[in-house]
Amino acid sequence: MYKSIAIVGATGAVGRLIRQLLEERDFPYEKITFLASKRSAGSTITFKGEEHEVQLLCPEAFEDIDLAIGSTPDDVAAEFCPWATERNCVVVDESGYWRMDPKVPLVVPEINPEAALNHQGIISSPNCSTTQMVLAMKPLHDAGTIRRVIVSTYQATSGAGVQGQGDLINGSKAFLDGDDYKYQAFAHPIAFNLIPQIGSHKQDGYTSEEMKMVYETQKIFGDDSIKVCPTCIRVPVENCHSESILVETEKKISVEEAKQLFAATPGITVVDNLQEGVYPMPADCSGDDAVFIGRIREDLSCENGLAFWCVSDNLRKGAATNAVQIAELLVQSAAAV
């Protein structure tokens, strides 16, 4: 069913990772097409040892394409997804545009794979900060029913794209040399600094990034009663988002039980030995598809509370890997029919 596939936004940072993952995971296809904007169309990329010319993203590009994986800005996704679905092409979309559309499933394969199979042409992949948090929540929610989450994120500059990473490196050099630097991605200096705002002001003092974590979490679990209080912070780290998470459950879960639940969950790796100074850190987690969890402990202020530290590569599981896993889920389901 999914013989012809396309990568939309193939030359971007996440698009490059999607291409890499398709090679590494030996994703099945008979024909592959790489699509991008006018700026990149006509360039060539190497995939599985062969040169491919990048095609222009336009309505006609989706003729005879069965499955597309897209990583584009929201406004581009708003335009190209209907082009694809009108031509019977299923889209796995990385952008934020379709996530809260009631007709579009929002999927993390380890949590709600069945939602992906009930699509109407478009399947959304969540925001990177949401993805790692909900995967960490999943085993605890199954065991004890999570009622409340307090999360503070420490988000890497790679989440703001190539310009964000450039701001960190070039801004740090300028700071150390005593030179001025004009930041491209950030409204404030990120070098040797923290910026407690990601996204625009949304409501009641919360930013758009923070409200994504609220609404996306509830949609993925299909439970609007889960309360989420997020604070999202940009930090001077090049790659991997970190999160300090506190959950309150209906049924008490001990630290030992939580460790066992995390360890038994596909996609989660437990790294937790405080006495030996062993815990997840961005420098150690970059380039890995896992969600790493450590510093697991009881909440001293709440009887049924657990606190833990969570780190994940935001470009991989937070973006490219999750999208490719959704595509694999579709292929596997079609093959089983």
pLDDT in tens, 279-326: 999 999 999 999 999 999 999 999 999 999 999 999 999 999 999 999
107-155 confidence digits (pLDDT tens): 999 999 999 999 999 999 999 999 999 999 999 999 999 999 999 999 9
- Residue 335 has a pLDDT of 80
CA distance 236 to 157: 7
Q: Are 171 and 184 in contact (CB under 8 A)?
A: no
The tokens of 156 are what? 């890497």
Active site residues: 128, 241
> Quick one: 297 and 332 in the same domain?
no
CA distance 122 to 80: 11
How many domains does the chain divide into? Answer: 2
Find the mean pLDDT for residues 72-77.
96
End-to-end CA distance of the chain: 10
CA distance 86 to 84: 5
> Quick one: 242 and 298 in the same domain?
yes
Average pLDDT, the chain: 97
Domain boundaries, position 93: 4-126+319-336
> Quick one: 122 and 134 in the same domain?
no
CATH number of the CATH domain containing 115: 3.40.50.720
216-270 confidence digits (pLDDT tens): 999 999 999 999 999 999 999 999 999 999 999 999 999 999 999 999 999 999 9
Name the one residue in this structure whose structure tokens are 């450039």: 166
Q: What sign results for the dihedral spanned by CA atoms 145, 149, 155, 160?
A: positive
Neighbouring C-beta atoms of residue 114, cutoff 10 Å = 11
> Quick one: 300 and 195 in the same domain?
yes
Check residue 287 and give left, alpha or beta (phi > 0: left; psi -120 to 50: alpha). left
> Quick one: 116 and 171 in the same domain?
no
H or E segment at 16? helix 13-24
> Quick one: 160 and 19 in the same domain?
no
Name the pTM for this structure: 0.95
CA distance 75 to 314: 21
Which of 141, 11, 31, 72 shows the shortest CA–CA distance to 323?
72
Neighbouring C-beta atoms of residue 126, cutoff 10 Å = 27
> Quick one: 209 and 122 in the same domain?
no
> Quick one: 141 and 82 in the same domain?
no
Which of 96, 36, 29, 92 shows the shortest CA–CA distance to 61?
36
> Quick one: 140 and 283 in the same domain?
yes
> Quick one: 196 and 292 in the same domain?
yes
Q: Per-residue confidence at 337, pLDDT binned at 50, 70, 90?
A: low
Which of 5, 315, 327 shows the shortest CA–CA distance to 160?
315
> Quick one: 37 and 159 in the same domain?
no
> Quick one: 141 and 284 in the same domain?
yes
